[in-house]
Chains A and B, each alone.
Chain A
Amino acid sequence: MTAPFSQSVEIGLKVNGERVRRTVDARRHLIDFLRLDLGLTGSHAGCEQGVCGACTVRVDGAIVRGCLTLAVQLDGADVWTVEGVTETGEIADLQDEFVARNALQCGYCTPGMLLTAAELLDAASTPDRTHIREQISGNYCRCTGYEAIVDAIEATAAKRCGMPVPALKEAAE
């Protein structure tokens, strides 16, 4: 067998509904592929060892760690990033709640947090706060202390089901 291993490979996949074909280095992980090759900078590279969750994106219908997925593995895959789900309006209500409830400050974790929360909202109609915290346990936020993020996800779930929505918390004077 002659040199079966390649350092770069051509892949064809769909990103946010658009067909993309590129030759990528085998060492390129999905987040660098999205950010550096496609210019989709909404997904963030944080720890690059699978701990922080800033790189969370959706591949073939389920969230993955973008930093622990090599782009070469994604031939034929269907990838959605925060840009895509923003454009389709799929998570507009969730994003509105994040803004209304100050569920972000620096925003670095937010794209990953949104996609992680969106998966929970699709799977469970009325997740309780423990369930929400478990779902986002793999997404670090160093600004908010998580409380407002949990509020935003809980409120989005309530609104989608026509349930009473927890009141906005006013800033203390």
Chain B
Amino acid sequence: MKPSPIGYVRATSLAHALDLLAEGDGEEKVLAGGQSLVASLNLRLIESPNLIDINGIDDLHGIAEDGDVVRVGALTRHCDLMACDIIARHVPILSEAAPLIAHAAIRTRGTIGGSVANADPAAELPACVVALDATIVLASKTDGERRVMASDFFLGLFETARRDDELLVAIEFPKIKPGERQSIRELVRRSGDYALAGLAIAGPTDAPRLVFFGVGDAPVVAAGAMAVLADGGSVDEAALALEDDLDPADDINGSAGYKKHISRVLLKRALSGDRQSDAA
């Protein structure tokens, strides 16, 4: 299908974009990579929106180290994450996650800011952001910059703490430290599909944060399983604790029970560090 008529403006600077958001009616859509947004327009899931194209804003590009933090600009494309040495060295889970996102032609344009702001519960990057306890940097005309912890940012299905007048400008990731691990894995029917279930892991090697995606309305922190590991429990005990941590819905891709099952398998495989062993 084709989109319904669209209003369009190219923001020429960050200040211009924030002006547009501040003076809008809250129904404007920010166009970053467009890899979910334009599909939604084509399907007319969004009717006659006004688009603010932020692609020309230089301030939103770039990946830079700042002490213990790596600041990733909102317009960083998935292909940029894959090619970036700073990311590979300091936030390796993002290097591992980016190739899992869709296909080469989509990674060329899709952005980290877009993925996080869109908050698709099956997407990889929101789960990574939560697992890493990253900081989401928002900007608005009235309040300047506002920092929100990832754990407070994702509120539900495609719903975040970003206000209508705010733009997601960057994400700040803590650098990996000695004795920490990061990894992501997911189960897909075909390469590039959204995950049936996925797991992002980050933190101390023996007691990392466990964040599942594709099994809820938002990234799901498996608090019970994390507590088991922190108390010195076994991987099998942690996997059992997922029974209370996860509450996936039945859908066309599989039953809730099936998704719980593969979540347990993903956890066991991730913590055993061997994709082939510990099969279901």
**Residues in A lying within 8 Å of B, measured CB to CB:** 1, 4-7, 9, 25-27, 29, 32, 48-50, 53, 56, 59, 62-65, 67-70, 72-73, 75, 116, 119, 133-135, 137-139
Contact of B3 with A by CB under 8 A: yes
Interface pair A26/B51, CB less than 8 Å apart = yes
> Could you say which of B19, B39, B105 contacts A56, with CB atoms under 8 Å apart?
B105
| Contact pick for B8, options A6, A56, A63, CB 8 Å | A6
User: Which of B10, B39, B55 interacts with A68 by CB under 8 Å?
Assistant: B39
Contact present for A63 and B105 (CB under 8 Å): yes
Sample of 18 more A-B contacts, CB < 8 Å, known A7-B7, A72-B53: A4-B9, A7-B6, A9-B8, A27-B6, A29-B2, A48-B2, A49-B42, A68-B34, A68-B35, A68-B38, A69-B38, A70-B8, A70-B51, A72-B10, A73-B53, A75-B10, A133-B191, A135-B104
CB < 8 Å neighbour of B5 from A27, A72, A137, A138: A27
A-B contact pairs, 26 of them (CB 8 A): A1-B23, A6-B8, A7-B7, A26-B8, A27-B2, A27-B3, A27-B6, A27-B41, A32-B2, A49-B43, A64-B108, A64-B109, A65-B35, A65-B105, A67-B42, A68-B39, A68-B42, A69-B34, A70-B8, A70-B31, A72-B53, A73-B34, A138-B102, A138-B103, A138-B106, A139-B103
- Least distance between A90 CB and chain B CB atoms (Å): 18
Residues of chain A within 8 A (CB-CB) of B192 are 137-138
A32 surroundings in chain B (CB, below 8 A):
2
Residues of chain B with a CB closer than 8 A to A73's CB: 31, 34, 53, 55
A12 and B79 alpha carbons, distance in the complex (Å) = 26
Task: Check: B280 CB closer than 8 A to any chain A CB.
Answer: no
**Are B109 and A68 in contact (CB-based, < 8 A)?**
yes
In the complex, A69→B3 CA distance in Å? 12
**Nearest-neighbor residue (CB-CB) of A120 within chain B:** B104
Cβ B3 vs Cβ A116 within 8 A: no
Given A26-B51, A48-B42, A72-B53, A6 and B7 contact (CB-CB distance below 8 Å):
yes
Report which of B7, B55, B106 forms a contact with A5, defined as CB distance below 8 A. Answer: B7
Closest to B23 in A: A1
Given the complex, which residues of B lie within 8 Å of A116, measured CB to CB? 104-105
Residues of chain A contacted by B5 (CB below 8 angstroms)? 7, 25-27
Complex Cα spacing A91 to B103, Å: 21
